């Protein structure tokens, strides 16, 4: 049987230096095997452009690419390198078979909107394909079929309900199958979604960035934006970019006005990549139906292939989601994935990469894309479909900036009023999180001196104070207030990715207190700054 220690060997082989600018976790995703970190120069002077896009993932890069292609003078800014957020940690299934089932979207928003949601994701895959071909991008893009299959707890009705919903929306492409006919993994009863896609996300984003620059756009990395006051954004260095439009493409908006954290919930998901002989596993996408875990939890298994070299492919399997900051057993979760793979892909070879990342689930099943206020725009709430959401966000946002009609703008409007009871669900989650975390923290090690190298802990000091300690690789302790600067929840330690994660809305911080995920835009306060 696979043990946790055999996985910890892998993750310890794949850390990256200066992790906080390269990617948002300690464990490198597979994509860094073939792609270099995408680095540009820092912003060192004030600038005036037509549009400034903050955040270099699928959302920001696509938006900046489309704007620059149309002749706009664009600046794209990231506080890490390009792809250093969740886009570089994505498994990059390109599909319109969303984490939210269409029968649920129809139930919440009606048939017309559900149909447009499907069309928008189809159009996103088409746009990625067109970009790859137009710009000659070498990024392992391929059209492949996808299979939605039943997990061990679901009944056939789940598939038939979904098929009915697809037909109701006019989709006759998706077929019910007794067997997928794939090997060596044939999941049995399933829905086949033809002509979906897969890509190497870092290579794709790197290719689009090259085109942005060729179109006259400017890209700045390691440039943290602290202020978003239309018409100007201000970097930590003090330099400003003034623009007619500001796009906040930071995965979760970090400008405080937006308050999007009330409408969505953050989850951590785990991925392991295995070496398999070339061609041994059918080149397809697989997704199990959800395993309900209570609340909004929607863990499911997602599987794909990535070509490695002449002899091997990588089998990439993700699963085991949990609410951010509410579990610290990542090694066990990797080991569970590994055991599952051994059972279902007995010929699979060694595990070569293991990493986790963060997804953000919207309260009413669909993402938020559009105008925040005046000339400030945002996009968020993508669940595990952010490669297509980010791409279609680029289409919606560039149309809004051009003042062009966009058929999808209204349904994705961040201010839409259809949320109703969904908002209550998020609120409830928020409260539950607070309670859970309190009890979680009580069990933490209270002796920071005893911490292993590169580990952290939350420690009680007196009745009311809690400190976040991190012991670095040289044995030096770093102490912060454990209070999340966003809205005051207590962070918890994520020993797998070596970050302090906030269980309330998913802000994350390195062991040195630097913010790596919003909604917070500021680091943890040093312990001595507390009083
Ligand atoms: C493990 C995993 C598997 C996934 N699998 C899939 C999949 O198979 N298919 C799919 O479609 N989606 C998948 N997703 C979801 C998808 O990857 C994300 O939703 C998507 O990449 C988000 O893109 P984004 O551009 O909005 O955000 P990000 O890629 O996170 O980009 C935001 C950027 O903003 C920058 N930033 C933040 N704050 C600031 C600031 N103040 N100043 C400057 N820059 C800032 C960050 O450094 C970051 O680079 C997966 C996600 C994970 C974690
Ligand atoms: S992310 Fe909101 S309180 Fe921490």
For residue 356, the ligand 1 atom closest to its alpha carbon is 1
User: Is 50 exceeded by the pLDDT of residue 161?
Assistant: yes
User: Is 90 exceeded by the pLDDT of residue 419?
Assistant: no
For residue 517, the ligand 1 atom closest to its alpha carbon is 37
Q: What mean pLDDT is predicted for residues 257-267?
A: 84
Cβ–ligand 2 contact at 505 (below 6 Å): yes
Give pLDDT tens digits for 433-469.
Answer: 565 556 455 546 568 889 999 999 999 887 778 899 9
Q: What mean pLDDT is predicted for residues 293-321?
A: 85
**pLDDT confidence of residue 505:** 93
CA dist 37 and 21 (Å) reads 9
Cβ–ligand 1 contact at 84 (below 6 Å): yes
Which of 250, 258, 300, 356 to mutate for ligand 1's pocket (most ligand atoms within 8 Å of CB)?
250
**pLDDT confidence of residue 529:** 54
CA dist 151 and 445 (Å) reads 37
**pLDDT confidence of residue 417:** 80
Closest by Cα among 71, 75, 62 to 382? 62
Give the burial class of 436: count Cβ atoms within 10 A of its Cβ; 0-12 exposed, 13-18 middle, 19 or more buried. Answer: middle
User: Is 90 exceeded by the pLDDT of residue 261?
Assistant: no
- Give the pTM: 0.95
**pLDDT confidence of residue 428:** 52
Please give the domain boundaries of the chain with CATH numbers for all domains.
36-82+92-136+199-256+363-419 (3.50.50.60), 142-198+265-361 (3.30.9.10), 424-529 (2.102.10.10)
Q: What mean pLDDT is predicted for residues 66-77?
A: 98
Q: What is the mean pLDDT of the chain?
A: 91
Pairing of strands 240-248, 264-277: unpaired
Higher pLDDT, 441 or 48: 48
**pLDDT confidence of residue 259:** 77
Nearest ligand (C-alpha, residue 483):
2
Cβ–ligand 2 contact at 273 (below 6 Å): no
User: Is 50 exceeded by the pLDDT of residue 531?
Assistant: no
Q: Give residue 128 CA to ligand 2 midpoint distance, Å.
A: 34
Q: How confident is the model at residue 72 (pLDDT cuts 50, 70, 90)?
A: very high
User: Is 70 exceeded by the pLDDT of residue 389?
Assistant: yes
Q: Which residues contact 119 (CB under 8 A, 6 or more apart)?
A: 408
**pLDDT confidence of residue 294:** 46
Q: Which residues of 263-275 are buried (b: 16+ CB within 10 A; e: fewer)?
A: bbbbbbbbbbbbb
Q: What mean pLDDT is predicted for residues 406-410?
A: 98
Q: By alpha-carbon position, which residue is closest to atom 20 of ligand 1?
A: 386
**456 sits in which H/E element:** strand 455-461
Cβ–ligand 1 contact at 91 (below 6 Å): yes
Cβ pair 21, 222 in contact under 8 A: yes
User: Is 90 exceeded by the pLDDT of residue 1?
Assistant: no
Q: By alpha-carbon position, which residue is closest to atom 3 of ligand 2?
A: 487
Q: What mean pLDDT is predicted for residues 297-317?
A: 91
User: Is 70 exceeded by the pLDDT of residue 3?
Assistant: no
First-last CA distance in the chain:
51
H-only helix segments in 81-110:
102-109
User: Is 60 exceeded by the pLDDT of residue 373?
Assistant: yes
Q: What mean pLDDT is predicted for residues 284-304?
A: 78
Q: What mean pLDDT is predicted for residues 493-501?
A: 96
Q: By alpha-carbon position, which residue is closest to atom 16 of ligand 1?
A: 386
User: Is 70 exceeded by the pLDDT of residue 54?
Assistant: yes
Closest by Cα among 74, 75, 93, 88 to 38? 88
DSSP assigned state of 274: E
Q: How many CB atoms lie within 10 A of CB 104?
A: 17
**pLDDT confidence of residue 423:** 57
Cβ–ligand 1 contact at 78 (below 6 Å): yes
Q: How many CB atoms lie within 10 A of CB 176?
A: 13
- The three-state DSSP-derived secondary structure of 27-55 is ECCHHHHCCCCECCCCCCCCEEEEEEEEC
**pLDDT confidence of residue 297:** 47
**179 sits in which H/E element:** none
Q: Give residue 197 CA to ligand 2 midpoint distance, Å.
A: 35
């Amino acid at each position: 049987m696979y043990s946790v220690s055999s996985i910890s060997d892998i993750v310890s082989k794949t850390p990256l230096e200066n992790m906080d600018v390269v990617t948002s976790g300690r464990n490198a995703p597979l994509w860094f095997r073939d792609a270099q970190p995408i680095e540009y120069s820092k912003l060192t002077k004030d600038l005036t452009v037509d549009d400034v896009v903050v955040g270099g993932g699928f959302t920001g890069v696509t938006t900046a690419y489309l704007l620059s292609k149309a002749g706009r003078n664009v600046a794209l800014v990231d506080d890490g390198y390009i792809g250093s957020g969740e886009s570089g940690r994505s498994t990059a299934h390109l599909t319109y078979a969303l984490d939210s089932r269409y029968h649920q979207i129809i139930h919440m928003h009606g048939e017309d909107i559900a149909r447009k949601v499907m069309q928008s994701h189809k159009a996103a895959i088409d746009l990625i394909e067109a970009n790859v071909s137009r710009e000659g991008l070498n990024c392992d893009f391929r059209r492949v079929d996808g299979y939605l299959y039943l997990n061990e707890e679901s009944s056939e009705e789940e598939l038939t309900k979904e098929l009915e919903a697809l037909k109701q929306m006019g989709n006759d492409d998706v077929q019910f199958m007794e067997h997928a006919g794939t090997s060596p993994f044939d999941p049995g009863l399933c829905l086949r979604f033809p002509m979906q896609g897969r890509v190497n996300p870092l290579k794709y984003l790197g290719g689009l960035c090259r085109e942005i620059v060729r179109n006259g756009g400017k890209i700045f990395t390691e440039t943290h934006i602290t202020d978003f006051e239309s018409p100007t954004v201000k970097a930590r260095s003090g330099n400003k970019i003034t623009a007619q439009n500001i796009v906040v493409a930071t995965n979760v908006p970090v400008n405080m006005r937006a308050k999007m954290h009330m409408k969505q919930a953050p989850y951590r998901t785990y991925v392991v990549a295995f070496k398999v002989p070339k061609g041994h596993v059918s080149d397809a996408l697989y997704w199990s139906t959800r395993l309900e875990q209570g609340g909004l939890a929607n863990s499911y298994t997602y599987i794909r292939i990535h070509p490695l070299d002449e002899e091997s492919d990588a089998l990439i399997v993700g699963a085991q989601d949990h609410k951010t900051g509410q579990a610290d057993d990542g090694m066990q979760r990797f080991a569970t994935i590994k055991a599952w793979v051994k059972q279902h892909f007995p010929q699979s070879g060694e595990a070569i990469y293991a990493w986790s990342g963060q997804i953000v689930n919207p309260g009413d099943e669909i993402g938020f894309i559009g105008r925040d206020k005046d000339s400030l725009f945002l996009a968020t709430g993508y669940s595990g479909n952010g490669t297509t959401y980010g791409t279609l966000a680029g289409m919606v946002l560039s149309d809004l900036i051009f003042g062009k009609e966009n058929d999808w703008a209204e349904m994705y409007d961040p201010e839409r009023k259809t949320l109703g009871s969904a908002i209550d669900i998020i609120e409830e989650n928020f409260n539950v999180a607070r309670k859970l975390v309190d009890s979680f923290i009580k069990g933490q090690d209270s002796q920071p001196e005893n911490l292993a190298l590169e580990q952290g802990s939350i420690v009680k000091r007196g009745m009311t104070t809690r400190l976040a300690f991190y012991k670095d690789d040289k044995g030096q302790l770093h102490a912060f207030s454990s209070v999340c600067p966003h809205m005051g929840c207590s962070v918890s330690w994520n020993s797998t990715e070596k970050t302090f994660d906030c269980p309330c809305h998913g802000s994350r911080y390195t062991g040195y207190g630097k913010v790596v995920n919003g909604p917070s835009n500021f680091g943890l306060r040093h312990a001595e700054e507390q009083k």
